Structure 1
Amino acid sequence: MFKPLILYIGLRYTRAKRRTQFISFITLTSVLGIALGVTALITVLSVMNGFEAELRERILGMTSHTTITGRYGQLDDWQSVAERVRGLPHVEGAAPFIQGQVMVNADRQVSGTLVQGILPDYEPKVSEVGDKMKFGRLEDLKSGEFNIILGAELASYLGVFMGDKVTVITPQVNSTPAGILPRLKRFTVVGVFQVGMYEYDRNMALIHLDDAGKLFRIEPAVSGLRLKLDDLFNAPLITQDIADVLGNDYRVSDWTKAHSNFFRAVQTEKRAMFIILLLIVAVAAFNIVSTLVMVVTDKRGDIAILKTQGLTNLSVMGIFIVLGCVIGSVGTLIGTLGGIALALNVETIVPAIEKAFGVQFMAADVYYISEVPSKLIWGDVYWIAATAFFLSLLATLYPAWQASRINPAEVLRYE
Structure 2
Amino acid sequence: MLISRYERMIARRYLLPGRSEAFIAVVAGFSLVAVMLGVAALIVVMSVMNGFRAELFDKITGLNGHAVVQGYGGQLRNWRDIVAQAKATPGVTSATPLIEQPLFASLGGRVEFAQVRGMRVEDIRNNPTLKGKEVLGSLARLQPGQEQVAIGSRLAEKLGATIGSKITIINPAGSSTPFGTMFRTVSYTVTAIFEVGVYDFDQIFVIMPIEDAQTLLLLGDAVSMVEIDTVDPDRVQQIIAPLNDKVQGVGQITDWRQMNRELFEALAVDRIVSFTILSIILVVASFNIVSSLIMLVRSKTRDIAVLRTMGATRGGLMRIFVTVGTTIGGLGVAAGTVLGFLFITFRAQVVQLIGLVTGQQIWDPSMRFLTELPAKTDPFETIGICVMALLFAFLATLYPAWKAASTDPVQVLRYE
| TM-score past 0.5 threshold | yes
| Deviation (angstroms), 1:387 | 0.9
Aligned partner of 2:93 in structure 1 is: 92
Aligned partner of 2:257 in structure 1 is: 256
Q: Find the aligned partners of 1:152 and 1:69 in 2 and give their Cα distance.
A: 28
Indicate if the aligned counterparts of 1:125 and 1:228 stay in contact, CA closer than 8 A: no
- Indicate the SS of the match to 1:162: coil
Indicate if the aligned counterparts of 1:92 and 1:125 stay in contact, CA closer than 8 A: no
Indicate if the aligned counterparts of 2:110 and 2:159 stay in contact, CA closer than 8 A: yes
Aligned partner of 2:167 in structure 1 is: 166
Q: Find the aligned partners of 2:136 and 2:2 in 1 and give their Cα distance.
A: 71
Indicate if the aligned counterparts of 1:347 and 1:372 stay in contact, CA closer than 8 A: yes
Determine if the alignment matches structure 1 residue 185 to structure 2 residue 204: no
| Deviation (angstroms), 1:391 | 0.6
| Deviation (angstroms), 1:143 | 3.8
Pairs within 5 Å for 1:295-310: 295-310=296-311
Range with greater deviation from structure 2 (255-264 or 336-345): 336-345
Indicate if the aligned counterparts of 2:98 and 2:119 stay in contact, CA closer than 8 A: yes
Query: Cα 1:20–1:70, aligned 2, differ >3 Å: closer, same or farther?
Result: same
Q: Find the aligned partners of 2:3 and 2:67 in 1 and give their Cα distance.
A: 63
Pairs within 5 Å for 1:182-261: 182-243=183-244, 246=247, 249-261=250-262
Q: Find the aligned partners of 1:2 and 1:91 in 2 and give their Cα distance.
A: 55
Q: Find the aligned partners of 2:215 and 2:338 in 1 and give their Cα distance.
A: 61
Query: Cα 1:341–1:165, aligned 2, differ >3 Å: closer, same or farther?
Result: closer
Equivalent residue letter for 2:391: F
Q: Find the aligned partners of 1:69 and 1:125 in 2 and give their Cα distance.
A: 22
Indicate if the aligned counterparts of 1:239 and 1:253 stay in contact, CA closer than 8 A: no
Equivalent residue letter for 1:178: F
- Indicate the SS of the match to 1:122: helix
Superposition TM-score, scaled by structure 1 size: 0.89
Indicate if the aligned counterparts of 1:105 and 1:168 stay in contact, CA closer than 8 A: yes
| Deviation (angstroms), 1:99 | 1.5
Aligned partner of 2:294 in structure 1 is: 293
| Deviation (angstroms), 1:353 | 6.7
Equivalent residue letter for 2:290: V
Query: Cα 1:187–1:39, aligned 2, differ >3 Å: closer, same or farther?
Result: same
| Deviation (angstroms), 1:287 | 0.4
Determine if the alignment matches structure 1 residue 8 to structure 2 residue 9: yes
Q: Find the aligned partners of 1:126 and 1:250 in 2 and give their Cα distance.
A: 24
Equivalent residue letter for 1:110: V
Query: Cα 1:340–1:149, aligned 2, differ >3 Å: closer, same or farther?
Result: closer
Aligned partner of 2:404 in structure 1 is: 403
Indicate if the aligned counterparts of 2:199 and 2:371 stay in contact, CA closer than 8 A: no
- CA offset digits 1:309-356 (Å, max 9, x no partner): 443433332222122112211222222233233333434555577689
Q: How large is the RMSD of aligned CA atoms in angstroms?
A: 2.7
Aligned partner of 2:329 in structure 1 is: 328
Equivalent residue letter for 2:304: I
Aligned partner of 2:122 in structure 1 is: 121
Query: Cα 1:314–1:131, aligned 2, differ >3 Å: closer, same or farther?
Result: same
- Indicate the SS of the match to 2:151: strand
Unaligned runs of 5+ in 1: none
Unaligned runs of 5+ in 2: none
Q: Find the aligned partners of 1:370 and 1:180 in 2 and give their Cα distance.
A: 39
| Deviation (angstroms), 1:385 | 1.1
Indicate if the aligned counterparts of 1:117 and 1:209 stay in contact, CA closer than 8 A: yes
Q: Find the aligned partners of 1:343 and 1:159 in 2 and give their Cα distance.
A: 35
Query: Cα 1:11–1:152, aligned 2, differ >3 Å: closer, same or farther?
Result: same
Determine if the alignment matches structure 1 residue 340 to structure 2 residue 337: no
Indicate if the aligned counterparts of 1:13 and 1:323 stay in contact, CA closer than 8 A: yes
Query: Cα 1:85–1:20, aligned 2, differ >3 Å: closer, same or farther?
Result: same
Indicate if the aligned counterparts of 2:354 and 2:362 stay in contact, CA closer than 8 A: no
Range with greater deviation from structure 2 (265-274 or 247-256): 247-256
Indicate if the aligned counterparts of 1:10 and 1:322 stay in contact, CA closer than 8 A: yes
Q: Find the aligned partners of 2:67 and 2:43 in 1 and give their Cα distance.
A: 34
- Indicate the SS of the match to 1:361: coil
Q: Find the aligned partners of 2:333 and 2:149 in 1 and give their Cα distance.
A: 56
Aligned partner of 1:78 in structure 2 is: 79
Pairs within 5 Å for 1:249-288: 249-288=250-289
Indicate if the aligned counterparts of 1:64 and 1:127 stay in contact, CA closer than 8 A: no
Q: Find the aligned partners of 1:147 and 1:47 in 2 and give their Cα distance.
A: 38
Determine if the alignment matches structure 1 residue 383 to structure 2 residue 384: yes
Q: Find the aligned partners of 2:137 and 2:346 in 1 and give their Cα distance.
A: 34
Q: Find the aligned partners of 1:357 and 1:228 in 2 and give their Cα distance.
A: 44
Query: Cα 1:414–1:290, aligned 2, differ >3 Å: closer, same or farther?
Result: farther
- Indicate the SS of the match to 1:121: helix
Range with greater deviation from structure 2 (228-237 or 351-360): 351-360
Indicate if the aligned counterparts of 1:11 and 1:322 stay in contact, CA closer than 8 A: no
| Deviation (angstroms), 1:195 | 1.4
| Deviation (angstroms), 1:205 | 0.8
Equivalent residue letter for 1:223: S
- Indicate the SS of the match to 1:13: helix
Equivalent residue letter for 2:260: H
Query: Cα 1:335–1:140, aligned 2, differ >3 Å: closer, same or farther?
Result: closer
Query: Cα 1:18–1:151, aligned 2, differ >3 Å: closer, same or farther?
Result: closer
Equivalent residue letter for 1:61: G
- Indicate the SS of the match to 1:110: strand
Equivalent residue letter for 2:148: N
Equivalent residue letter for 2:36: A
| Deviation (angstroms), 1:77 | 0.7
For this pair of structures, how many residues does the alignment match? Answer: 415
| Deviation (angstroms), 1:294 | 0.9
- CA offset digits 1:115-167 (Å, max 9, x no partner): 11222123445553243233344454444443332212112211223333322
| Deviation (angstroms), 1:230 | 3.1
Query: Cα 1:296–1:145, aligned 2, differ >3 Å: closer, same or farther?
Result: same
Query: Cα 1:341–1:217, aligned 2, differ >3 Å: closer, same or farther?
Result: same
Superposition TM-score, scaled by structure 2 size: 0.89
- CA offset digits 1:45-93 (Å, max 9, x no partner): 2233333322222222222222112344321111122122223323232
Aligned partner of 2:70 in structure 1 is: 69
Query: Cα 1:113–1:407, aligned 2, differ >3 Å: closer, same or farther?
Result: same
Range with greater deviation from structure 2 (380-389 or 140-149): 140-149
Query: Cα 1:112–1:342, aligned 2, differ >3 Å: closer, same or farther?
Result: closer
| Deviation (angstroms), 1:272 | 1.9
